């Protein structure tokens, strides 16, 4: 029987068409092909190849191969099928995540430059004549001789380069070729080589466990539970060296792009002999850089891959080790379909490819911790800081008392924090101030009538950004000018409420006029390399106080930081989410761990209006075991993860009643044949009731088996037609309940 290929067509649509395969083409799943589409030629990715029966409708033939080799490895295809089965996501959407847009499309290609290479070596007499009569030609010949490799003509410099190259080519001494030039994200960076450090006893045990796993045929996932500053990165580095010696390749995942520069710096400094074999993958790269890095990985030129969550799909051949740093971070959960969790995919990929996965964190997620209790994962603990330093002293400041001192005015910086910062600056030490809210003021409110200016498209207040003199929605990006009068009652008494990093920076500059202060948040890091340059200046002690959002709260290692101040620690504590306490504890513990990582003792000052909250008190005492014991007890009583799996069903539409009615209909159908032990919640408005001009309603499902939840949900969704203007999405193992 003839063969046909199912091809996912490039573009925003989800079109999949079958095409006949010509006899002269060898087509495999994962290949990129050119196909006829109506009256034009298009490109696509082969999802599957199967035999087809002869029908009255003849299939059109594929035109050609874009690339002779498949872009997706067999293991990644199996991973894609697992994602489709587990999350109930169409395979087409998964393939689009595995192959980046810059690779699928034909707008991005390799960068080609004209380059000169020495065709033959001139005699000494020829060189002597050139030195006298044509000095520019002599310089070019000398440079090419020293380099002994092609040099782009633009890098040879000089106004007469082109004519000189032309003359040398005519003489047969130089040859001009097309040279593929790599777009290196770190082309202008210098990395000073470092040597492996001597591991302490706990680090040694962790390294031995990972090394033993690297030699195992069926390795079990490893949780590396090490307190902040315990030297997890050194263990990663030495385990990576071991994997490379075994001929294996390595993937390192970091949760935030802000952590990528430091991780890249550490690995390129340690593996200075292999810097050309380290690739970077994250969304801050240009399309050209991403194209080059991806193809270097696929060609086997890069053996170490460092990146954010999408790097789990890196086309690494024969991986031996996958490291998921800060595995507890919600950033590993993809927000848009396919809504995968990179940490879980790392475990699945390692199971498929029989390699080792290491999940590292000072504050592991309860899901991962529970897996160690069930013996599904093995746990290695590191309870001491690598340099022998003690954990920082943590003090909690009750901001209700501070408000009384300031007669009701917003007390952004407490007296205790102010005096501590002054002492650190005088001692030439550095300070990190953490505030997980950007902008100048969280809202604009009229005291006489109580009106708050909200986004036209979302049910949240607009945040004031003083730098742009705009009110901005942090959900959809809508912007508005700042009114002088209340839009509701025309009263001029309208005023700002609350504060963000922009206002905190203004206050810090007033209180500490001699200090050098830098702010890191989404607003200040829009320009490429701003984040990397700021962190580099902070490491070089050119900055005294670093103020920022959660992008500075984890993973960063600055030995001269001796004080961390947390402003408004309550921000994440009362979110409408059962994980709010866990996230607050993790965030406070992580940001506190930035202090005292060198020889000097560290200090942490947490400002809060709820000082007796268990999350804050457990974080104050660095008591992970105490927090977990309490939190797991609560989760078990109410049947929440990790004791069950959770699925979120969301209906959204520009018509409020249609979205609500659609979800009520689905709820009724889900309840009709509900599997055993599955808990079905009622349809309710989402905490964020309106977003991007769409009203949102949701319901939760919980059950002990994820596949049972996914199968039941998708069966009902496939069988239930919904209005065209209502969008329904299902999120298994949801992390964002807003």
Distance of CA 360 to the CA centre of its chain: 16
CA nearest to 235, candidates 223, 247, 246, 220: 223
Provide the pLDDT for residue 551: 86
Q: Which helix (H) or strand (E) holds 146?
A: helix 135-147
**Distance (Å, whole) CA 713 – CA 710:** 5
The full DSSP string for 6-62 is EEEESSSS--EEEEEPPTT----TT-EEEEEETTEEEEEEEEEEEE----SSPPPBP
Provide the pLDDT for residue 695: 98
The full DSSP string for 286-332 is -HHHHHHHHHHHHTT--SEEEESGGGGG---SSEEEEEEETTT-GGG
Paired residues of 646 in beta bridges: 702
Provide the pLDDT for residue 56: 55
- Judge contact between 496 and 724, C-beta under 8 A: no
- Judge contact between 97 and 38, C-beta under 8 A: no
CATH-assigned architecture of domain 393-438+503-634:
3-Layer(aba) Sandwich (3.40)
Domain 3-70, CATH class in plain words: alpha beta
Range 663-668 contact pairs with CB under 8 angstroms and sequence separation of 24 or more: 663/697, 663/698, 663/699, 663/728, 665/720, 666/699, 666/716, 666/717, 666/720, 666/728, 667/699
In a 3-state reduction of DSSP, which class is residue 579?
A: coil
Phi (first) and psi of residue 177, to 5 degrees: -130, 165
Residue with tokens 């309860």: 366
Phi (first) and psi of residue 454, to 5 degrees: -110, 165
Domain-wise residue ranges, the chain: 3-70, 111-181, 201-380, 393-438+503-634, 441-498, 645-732
**Distance (Å, whole) CA 734 – CA 333:** 8
**Distance (Å, whole) CA 513 – CA 597:** 27
Residue with tokens 């496939």: 718
| Average pLDDT by stretches of 10, the chain with 738 residues | 86 82 90 90 88 75 89 91 92 88 74 86 80 84 84 76 85 87 80 92 97 95 96 97 97 89 92 91 87 91 95 95 96 93 98 97 97 97 88 94 73 92 96 96 92 96 94 96 93 91 96 96 87 91 95 86 95 92 96 89 95 96 96 97 97 97 97 94 96 97 95 94 94 92
**Distance (Å, whole) CA 679 – CA 712:** 12
**Distance (Å, whole) CA 454 – CA 551:** 27
Range 623-631 contact pairs with CB under 8 angstroms and sequence separation of 24 or more: 624/225, 624/362, 624/363, 624/589, 627/585, 628/366, 628/369, 631/366, 631/581, 631/582
Total-model pTM: 0.90
CATH among 3.90.226.10, 3.40.50.300, 3.30.360.30, 3.10.520.10 for 201-380? 3.40.50.300
**Distance (Å, whole) CA 341 – CA 734:** 9
**Distance (Å, whole) CA 150 – CA 161:** 15
**Distance (Å, whole) CA 604 – CA 391:** 10
> Could you tell me if residue 428 is left (phi over 0), alpha (psi between -120 and 50 degrees) or otherwise beta?
left
**Distance (Å, whole) CA 504 – CA 547:** 8
Tokens standing for residue 694: 């769409």
Domain 645-732, CATH class in plain words: alpha beta
Rg of the chain over all Cα atoms, to the nearest angstrom = 29
The full DSSP string for 451-513 is -B-B-SSSSSBPEEETTTTEEE-TTT--EEPPPSS-TTT--TT-EEES--HHHHHHHHHHHST
Q: Does 201-380 match 3-70 at the fold level?
A: no
- Judge contact between 304 and 237, C-beta under 8 A: no
**Distance (Å, whole) CA 568 – CA 499:** 9
């Amino acid at each position: 029987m003839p063969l046909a290929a199912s091809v996912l067509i490039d573009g925003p649509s989800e079109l999949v068409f079958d095409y006949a395969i010509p006899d002269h083409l060898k087509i495999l799943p994962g290949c990129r092909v050119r196909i006829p589409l109506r009256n034009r030629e298009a490109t696509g990715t082969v999802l599957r190849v199967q035999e087809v029966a002869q029908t009255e409708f003849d299939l059109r033939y594929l035109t050609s191969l874009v690339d002779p080799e498949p872009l997706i490895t067999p293991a990644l295809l199996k991973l894609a099928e697992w994602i489709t089965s587990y999350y109930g996501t169409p395979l087409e959407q998964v393939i689009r995540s595995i192959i980046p847009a810059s690779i699928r499309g034909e707008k991005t290609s390799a960068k080609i430059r004209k380059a000169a290479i020495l065709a033959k070596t001139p005699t000494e007499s020829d060189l002597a004549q050139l030195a006298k009569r044509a000095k520019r030609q002599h310089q070019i010949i000398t440079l090419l001789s020293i380099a002994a490799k092609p040099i782009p003509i633009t890098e040879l410099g000089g106004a007469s380069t082109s004519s000189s190259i032309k003359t040398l080519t005519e003489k047969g001494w130089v040859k001009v070729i097309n040279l593929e030039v790599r777009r290196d994200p770190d082309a202008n960076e210098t990395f000073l080589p470092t040597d492996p450090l001597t591991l302490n006893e706990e680090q040694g045990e962790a390294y031995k466990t990972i090394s033993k796993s690297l030699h195992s045929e069926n390795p079990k996932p490893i949780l590396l539970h090490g307190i902040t500053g315990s030297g997890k990165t050194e263990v990663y580095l030495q385990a990576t060296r071991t994997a490379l010696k075994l001929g294996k390749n390595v993937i390192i995942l970091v949760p935030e792009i802000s952590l990528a520069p430091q991780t890249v710096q550490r690995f390129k400094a340690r593996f200075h002999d292999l810097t050309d074999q380290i690739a970077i993958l994250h969304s801050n790269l240009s399309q050209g850089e991403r194209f080059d890095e991806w193809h270097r990985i696929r060609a086997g030129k890069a053996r170490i891959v460092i990146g954010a969550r999408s790097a789990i799909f890196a086309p690494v051949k024969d991986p031996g080790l996958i490291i998921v740093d800060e595995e507890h971070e919600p950033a590993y959960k993809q927000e848009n379909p396919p809504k995968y969790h990179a940490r879980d995919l790392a475990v699945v990929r390692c199971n498929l490819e029989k390699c080792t996965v290491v999940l590292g964190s000072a504050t592991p997620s309860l899901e991962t911790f529970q897996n160690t209790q069930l013996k599904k994962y093995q746990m290695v603990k590191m309870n001491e800081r690598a340099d022998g330093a003690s954990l920082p002293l943590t003090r909690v400041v009750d901001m209700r008392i501070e408000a009384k001192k300031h007669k009701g005015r917003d007390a952004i910086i407490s007296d205790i924090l102010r005096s501590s910062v002054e002492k650190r600056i005088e001692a030439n030490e550095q300070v990190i101030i953490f505030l997980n809210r950007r902008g100048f003021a969280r809202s604009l409110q009229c005291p006489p009538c109580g009106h708050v200016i909200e986004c036209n498209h979302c049910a949240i207040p607009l945040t004031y950004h003083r730098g742009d003199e705009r009110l901005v929605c942090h959900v959809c990006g809508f912007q508005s000018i700042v009114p002088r009068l209340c839009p509701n009652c025309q009263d001029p008494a309208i005023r700002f409420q609350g504060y963000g990093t922009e206002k905190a920076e203004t206050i810090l500059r007033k209180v500490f006029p001699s200090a050098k202060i830098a702010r890191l948040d989404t607003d200040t890091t829009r320009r490429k390399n701003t984040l990397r340059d700021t962190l580099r200046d902070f490491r070089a002690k050119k900055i005294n106080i670093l103020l920022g959002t959660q992008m500075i709260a984890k993973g960063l290692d600055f030995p001269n930081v001796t004080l961390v101040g947390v402003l408004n620690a309550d921000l994440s504590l009362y979110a409408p989410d059962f994980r709010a306490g866990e996230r607050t504890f993790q965030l406070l513990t992580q940001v506190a761990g930035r202090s005292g990582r060198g020889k000097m003792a560290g200090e942490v000052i947490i400002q809060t209006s709820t000082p007796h909250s268990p999350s804050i008190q457990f974080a104050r005492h660095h008591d992970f075991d105490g927090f977990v014991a309490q939190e797991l007890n609560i989760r078990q009583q109410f049947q929440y993860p990790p004791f069950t799996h959770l699925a979120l069903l969301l209906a959204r539409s520009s018509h409020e009643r249609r979205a609500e009615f659609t979800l009520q209909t689905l709820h009724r159908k889900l309840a009709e044949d509900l599997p055993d032990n599955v808990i079905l919640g009622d349809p309710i408005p989402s905490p964020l009731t309106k977003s991007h001009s769409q009203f949102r309603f949701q319901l939760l499902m919980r059950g002990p088996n994820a596949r049972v939840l996914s199968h039941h949900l998708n069966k009902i969704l496939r069988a239930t037609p919904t209005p065209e203007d209502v969008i329904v999405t299902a999120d298994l193992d949801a992390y964002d309940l807003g």
